[in-house]
Structure 1
Amino acid sequence: MTGVRDALAPVSGALLRRARLDADAMIAAAEHDAAQTLAVARRAAQDMIDEAREAGTSEARARADAVRVRAGRRARDIELAARREVVLELRRRAVAAVLALRDDPCYPRLVERLRELARESGGDDLIVREHPDGGVVGVGRGRRVDCSLGALAGRAVDALGAEAERLWAR
């Protein structure tokens, strides 16, 4: 498996750099949108809170608390939806970038290397075929090794894992 990682390191590195750049741009846009939505929600909640205070009743205070909780939940829902969209867009862009490798003159060498990696991972008796979308898939008795370009791009995005969360923590 180390051989697979080593062989794919340049591709993974390039994908990771591109993914980070794309993620930074998408995150900035999502954070801006989330901040605006949160500001609107907070203003609306504050307006309701002010009304409740003016009424001066305990019922109004209870209502304001409920509104604040709902506004906070709504803001959190919006942020989480924006994060999901960013990850989906990042995955889509990573797959598109990797699929573009099919047009690269070095693509036949990449396919051959992926064949070797599939056999190294799954065994010499693995039947390895080119995937229609690029890369290869190897199938053997009770095993499957997916080295298709889409799967490799997906794994690269998944590998961001905690690093993707750190991007949001800025």
Structure 2
Amino acid sequence: MTTPAPDQTKDVLHPVRAGLLRAAHADAEARLARAEQEAAALLARARAEARAILDDARRQGEADGSDAARDLLVRARRETRSRTLAARRAAYEGLHREAAERVRALRGTDGYASLRQWLEQRARILLGPAAEVSEHADGGVVARVPGRRVDLSLTTLADRALDRMRGEVRSLWEP
């Protein structure tokens, strides 16, 4: 039995990969839209709360003097910033969890065997034909040769894809 050339394998897997990429992009866009809505709602609540805190601070500042008002205003801004960052972090972590769940679900699809075979061939291209390749618990493969290791697990690949999109994701929450 001859092993197909990597280029032939890529050609065969191209429709599967393209379909997976389209689905992943569509899902990522939907998730990002939902995360943006959630972040906007959290920001709106934080801003409303900040306005209430600021209103309180102004009233107290008039009674207690400008120094006390300044301290409350600084605390309100810090609290608002802290909540804003926490909301952003929670949305981003949720996106990471959802992406990991989605790629793990690929293991149950018809195209997974082809994808796993392609990942194994990719690992051997990266580390050589003597690489020891094993299935990762989350799907995908991990390959090793003495002194080197390649992680092509599905969750790691999803994390790398999200990390590459970090700037685009971050822009969803910035004014």
1:46 alignment partner in structure 2: 55
CA distance in 1, matches of 2:149, 2:81: 40
1:167 alignment partner in structure 2: 172
TM-score by length of 1: 0.86
Deviates more, 1:90-99 or 1:121-130: 121-130
2:132 alignment partner in structure 1: 127
2:103 alignment partner in structure 1: 98
Equivalence map 1:137-156=2 (5 Å): 137-156=142-161
Deviates more, 1:24-33 or 1:61-70: 24-33
Q: Between Structure 1 and Structure 2, how many residues are aligned?
A: 163
1:48-96 Cα distance to aligned partner (Å, 9 max, x none): 212322x3xxx61011111111101100100101111111100110011
CA distance in 2, matches of 1:80, 1:142: 39
Structure 1 position 41, deviation (Å): 2.0
1:68 alignment partner in structure 2: 73
Q: Structure with the greater relative contact order (CA < 8 A, sep ≥ 6): 1 or 2?
A: 1
Structure 1 position 152, deviation (Å): 1.0
Q: Percent identity?
A: 34
CA distance in 2, matches of 1:90, 1:16: 13
Answer yes or no: is 1:111 the counterpart of 2:116. yes
Go from structure 1 to structure 2 and tell me whether the alpha carbon gap of 1:69 and 1:12 turns closer, same or farther (over 3 Å shift). farther
Gaps of 5+ in 2: 1-6
Answer yes or no: is 1:16 the counterpart of 2:21. no
1:77 alignment partner in structure 2: 82
Go from structure 1 to structure 2 and tell me whether the alpha carbon gap of 1:9 and 1:75 turns closer, same or farther (over 3 Å shift). farther
CA distance in 1, matches of 2:88, 2:58: 29
CA distance in 1, matches of 2:28, 2:120: 25
CA distance in 2, matches of 1:12, 1:91: 16
Deviates more, 1:99-108 or 1:14-23: 14-23
Answer yes or no: is 1:29 the counterpart of 2:38. yes
CA distance in 1, matches of 2:110, 2:22: 20
Q: Given that residues 12 and 156 in structure 1 are in contact (C-alpha distance below 8 angstroms), is that contact kept between their aligned partners in structure 2?
A: no
CA distance in 2, matches of 1:26, 1:161: 14
Root-mean-square deviation (CA), in Å? 2.2
Structure 1 position 37, deviation (Å): 2.0
Q: Given that residues 61 and 70 in structure 2 are in contact (C-alpha distance below 8 angstroms), is that contact kept between their aligned partners in structure 1?
A: no
1:126-151 Cα distance to aligned partner (Å, 9 max, x none): 11111122111101111111111111
